[in-house]
Structure 1
């Protein structure tokens, strides 16, 4: 006999405590394999497809698309093991498998894809056994109910009960929607179905029994919506960005300095590299190489501030973040160990992370751990900016567009490729002299790429 097991939203790492359901990848009644993605969620870091550690039949889903769930909340239940045909859910009202069968089901149907709280770490990682009469046990029944059954009609009106721990014993999404639209808490409804399953008739009787039914609010007239303004929830990626930027401006006493530089020679050097054959070198990769060498000369800017200890922590390696605009908003992927990479390796890694960002496939690890950020806002057609530091880093280099401008070159007025460079830095880690020295070195390398040869 199949055993119904509950799969909860796992800890997705990096301190994330909640996720929003973006898209269900399975329906109730679908057969799923071990490690098959069952739902796509959006965290504060990235879009993530969550694999289910069990193989069997989906018997219930918890949460509509657009719903935010905390880590540890039920995602779905799956009927697994017991030698049953995985394509056939257990009959309504069937008793759970004995304890030893439940253990066998977990052992044989368990995921090899290690999630926090799930995986193949041995007996300690197994899910708890589902015992008879437990509110967490959900036995699959048809997902819709045409009306009260004869037994349900004869049953007395359901009484309010204390909210139990675990998921609400209800399968049908129509029942959930009816209760939600009418403001009824399903945890206060006693179900008349098998194992306490809440049926549509139970919800309808509970609504009738209330002295003042709560009707679903009518949509506001168009004129009222316009007058009040549109409200956009700050959640998911947008909320995470808002929190980080607010914290940066609250904690970091930032300052900005900038300089115009003649990038003609840098552009010529890149053209010569690419004309020589081999993989193409991106401009961003060359700027990254310049940043890495500048940070080696001015390590104060590759640091962070431990506010509680009142200490500046200078970091040994450069993990270079770069700003990337995506359909979901601005993200900052991180190139690990940028200081040890060649221009070709940097070009390849920038391309990989950018494509992952566009596809919404960046992992939390791709978006954390940066020590310095390079922001090429010239791609938006602007010359300059005063960016907000990517907390908890200490500095960010901004690069504007490179355009032909009148420029005095070797004592003569000429048209040159000019770029504005700006550095926003944490004034706690250094003074203006250090920041100016860093920015001037970067500008010198842009104007005369041969300067880099001294530090290679």
Structure 2
């Protein structure tokens, strides 16, 4: 007799209390192996695959895509081979359709390395009701979508993926394809309702729920704005020499050096001179924590939106090493593979919003950090250089800081030092 075991959502770390189901990776009635991923969930930090510690036949799944599952709540039940001796686990009689589904605890019978479907023992979990085998299509239609985030966007906007033409390789459906389908849906009813636009009530397009990463970001920014008395100062800097240095470095053998890597190196040197800015205020507001290491966060645009990956021990890395780690984390942000550990623990943030084509910003601090350096686009402008009007590559630097950890003199000194390094990068040699 097989034993039905219940697998609950494990603690995913970082103080997370739950996760949202993105997609199921197994079906009811499928034979799975020990530690095989069964579901992909989205936490406030990342999208992760959750492996099941049991091998056997999946008898029930709990939670539909888009639903929140609490840590400790059931995810799946699995019928595994009975073990010798007494057990308190519930036992379900195997279906007559099962053809040698289990040959041992955690070992699944398979043919040619492909998963196969078998009959399903009756589930014992009372709620929610498991999906019956008859309800699972024998040959579901294959929709060319890889990204679970694209699937979720389509689900939230009510877009039938089967009716969407993919613009990617081999007809792969991309995020832009779904967004176009959403725009087409919105445009059609708006055009039809145009004569009634003068009516007393204005129609809405609905409410988009705050979930996963977006919800976590909203909560964190609200807390930062509510708790931190932040102030911002800024200065224009002539980045011509910095860009010249970058061209010289990249003309030599070795990995290419990005502008972000040079700015990150400047930040670590500046924080060594102004260590009070590499700090955070205690939860109760009674003290200031000075951090010995610089864990440098930087803003990166990914498929899930704007995220802040963290370069650990940035102060101990060379410019080349900083560039390599920044490139690795940026790529992980783009493909949505950042882990929760790579998104937490920062002590200072570098925000290069110049990539969006803007000059300045007054960002909200990344709670509980005390400071953030912002860098605008580097653009050719008329500039007085050595007493003569010239065209130079200029950027605007902005610095937002927690006024509890320092006064304006310290913040201004930090920003001025950063600007001096941007304008005369050779002075960094004194600090290395």
TM-score (norm 2): 0.76
Hey, what's the Cα distance between the residues in 2 that align with 1:71 and 1:226?
41
1:168 to 111, 127, 130: 127
1:232 to 205, 208, 212: 208
Task: Provide the residue aligned with 2:238 in structure 1.
Answer: 262
Distance 1:167 1:72, change over 3 A: farther
Contact preservation (8 Å) 2:79, 2:121: no
Contact preservation (8 Å) 1:79, 1:90: no
User: How far off its partner does 1:173 sit?
Assistant: 5.7
Pick which of 224-233 and 434-443 moved more: 224-233
1:91 to 90, 94, 106: 94
Hey, what's the Cα distance between the residues in 1 that align with 2:26 and 2:65?
12
Task: Provide the residue aligned with 1:11 in structure 2.
Answer: 11
Task: Provide the residue aligned with 1:290 in structure 2.
Answer: 266
User: Aligned ranges for residues 104-123 of structure 1 at < 5 Å?
Assistant: 109=106
Contact preservation (8 Å) 1:90, 1:140: no
User: How far off its partner does 1:140 sit?
Assistant: 3.4
**Structure 1: segments with no counterpart, 5+ residues:** 94-104, 111-138, 144-163, 178-220
Hey, what's the Cα distance between the residues in 2 that align with 1:350 and 1:418?
23
Distance 1:278 1:443, change over 3 A: same
Hey, what's the Cα distance between the residues in 2 that align with 1:418 and 1:435?
21
2:229 to 253, 265, 279: 253
Hey, what's the Cα distance between the residues in 1 that align with 2:127 and 2:414?
59
The alignment status of 1:440 with 2:416, answered yes or no, reads yes
The alignment status of 1:75 with 2:71, answered yes or no, reads no
Distance 1:281 1:9, change over 3 A: same
Distance 1:173 1:248, change over 3 A: farther
The alignment status of 1:329 with 2:302, answered yes or no, reads no
Task: Provide the residue aligned with 1:24 in structure 2.
Answer: 24
The alignment status of 1:140 with 2:152, answered yes or no, reads no
Classify the secondary structure of the residue corresponding to 2:324. Answer: helix
Distance 1:35 1:174, change over 3 A: closer
Hey, what's the Cα distance between the residues in 1 that align with 2:37 and 2:131?
22
Classify the secondary structure of the residue corresponding to 2:225. Answer: helix
Aligned length: 348
1:418 to 388, 394, 400: 394
User: How far off its partner does 1:396 sit?
Assistant: 0.3
Hey, what's the Cα distance between the residues in 2 that align with 1:267 and 1:69?
49
Hey, what's the Cα distance between the residues in 1 that align with 2:365 and 2:4?
49
Hey, what's the Cα distance between the residues in 2 that align with 1:357 and 1:349?
12
The alignment status of 1:300 with 2:276, answered yes or no, reads yes
Hey, what's the Cα distance between the residues in 2 that align with 1:226 and 1:64?
33
Task: Provide the residue aligned with 1:380 in structure 2.
Answer: 356
Hey, what's the Cα distance between the residues in 2 that align with 1:68 and 1:245?
22
The alignment status of 1:355 with 2:331, answered yes or no, reads yes
Task: Provide the residue aligned with 1:39 in structure 2.
Answer: 39
Classify the secondary structure of the residue corresponding to 1:429. Answer: coil
Contact preservation (8 Å) 2:240, 2:394: yes
Contact preservation (8 Å) 1:74, 1:167: no
Hey, what's the Cα distance between the residues in 2 that align with 1:355 and 1:422?
26
Contact preservation (8 Å) 2:57, 2:120: no
Deviations 1:188-215 (A, max 9, x none): xxxxxxxxxxxxxxxxxxxxxxxxxxxx
Hey, what's the Cα distance between the residues in 2 that align with 1:394 and 1:276?
37
Deviations 1:296-354 (A, max 9, x none): 00011100001415101111000000011112111100000000001111111111111
Distance 1:239 1:167, change over 3 A: farther
Contact preservation (8 Å) 2:2, 2:94: no
**Structure 2: segments with no counterpart, 5+ residues:** 85-91, 97-103, 108-118, 137-188
What's the Cα RMSD here? 2.7
Hey, what's the Cα distance between the residues in 2 that align with 1:44 and 1:176?
32
Classify the secondary structure of the residue corresponding to 1:440. Answer: helix
Hey, what's the Cα distance between the residues in 2 that align with 1:351 and 1:421?
22
Task: Provide the residue aligned with 2:163 in structure 1.
Answer: none
Hey, what's the Cα distance between the residues in 2 that align with 1:173 and 1:264?
67
Contact preservation (8 Å) 2:233, 2:400: yes
Contact preservation (8 Å) 1:58, 1:77: yes
TM-score (norm 1): 0.72
Hey, what's the Cα distance between the residues in 2 that align with 1:32 and 1:435?
57
Greater C-alpha Rg: 1
Distance 1:323 1:167, change over 3 A: farther
Pick which of 295-304 and 324-333 moved more: 324-333
